[in-house]
Chain A
Amino acid sequence: DTAVSQTPKYLVTQMGNDKSIKCEQNLGHDTMYWYKQDSKKFLKIMFSYNNKELIINETVPNRFSPKSPDKAHLNLHINSLELGDSAVYFCASSRGASGDSTDTQYFGPGTRLTVL
């Protein structure tokens, strides 16, 4: 019954590897997001998709590639992992209706990525 779920919860890998994180929401929301939270705890937006279309693409290395096969799923693939990629990655979703001042975000439990 989890509203926003992510897998895996923990990911430990070597530098240079390629890995994917998956996210699914069962809230019927149209918009999904990926955030990175580093050791300083700041939540930084990476990407946002609305109905499978990319709408926000912040300054993120192109080693990070999001994919949205349908509006309930937003996956994040990371190529050639680097030490600085170590962080907690949160997926979130919201209704996404433009101008809806009551819209709020729901977060997944996070994926703790450690690059060795």
Chain B
Amino acid sequence: RKEVEQDPGPFNVPEGATVAFNCTYSNSASQSFFWYRQDCRKEPKLLMSVYSSGNEDGRFTAQLNRASQYISLLIRDSKLSDSATYLCVVNGYGNQFYFGTGTSLTVIP
């Protein structure tokens, strides 16, 4: 079983739509959780950390459910510039970061 599993998509949504991505992780001892964004032919960049109580950064909301070992990312009012691959990342024991396969999002005009 993979450490982190994501629906690869692709998600194609119109501008202004709300879209949600989900991710599950296998190790219940995982300590920290993140969403990264990767644009085509670029490096992954941290989008936001995910805290137990849930957190919001502008149009982006991240949630963590430790009991279900589940992480989500909600994007409201999608912009063309949100088109990218979104990577779910889990930090387990010993500074090892586990990456999901990524979910591809295309926002259509």
Contacts and interface: CB of A to CB of B under 8 A. Distances in A.
Given A43-B44, A43-B87, A110-B43, A105 B97 contact: yes
Interface string B26-44: 0000011010000000111
Interface stretch (A14-22, A67-75, A95-103): A95-103
Given A104-B34, A104-B49, A107-B44, A42 B101 contact: yes
Interface in B71-109: 85, 87, 89, 91, 94-97, 99, 101-102
A108 interface: yes
Interface size class of A (residues with CB under 8 A): 20 to 34
Interface size class of B (residues with CB under 8 A): 20 to 34
Nearest to B101: A42
Contact of A101 (B43, B85, B91): B91
A81 B97 CA distance: 27
B95 A48 contact: yes
B-side interface mostly: strand
Nearest to A30: B95
A53 to B, nearest CB: 12
A45 interface: yes
B99 A50 contact: no
29 contacts: A41-B85, A41-B101, A42-B99, A42-B101, A43-B99, A48-B95, A48-B96, A50-B95, A56-B94, A90-B43, A90-B44, A94-B95, A98-B95, A99-B31, A101-B31, A101-B91, A102-B32, A102-B49, A103-B32, A104-B34, A104-B46, A104-B49, A105-B44, A105-B89, A105-B97, A108-B43, A109-B42, A109-B43, A110-B42
Given A48-B95, A107-B45, 6 more contacts: A41-B102, A55-B95, A101-B31, A104-B46, A108-B43, A109-B43
Q: Nearest 7 A-B pairs (CB), nearest first? A: A107-B43, A101-B32, A43-B99, A101-B31, A42-B101, A107-B44, A96-B95
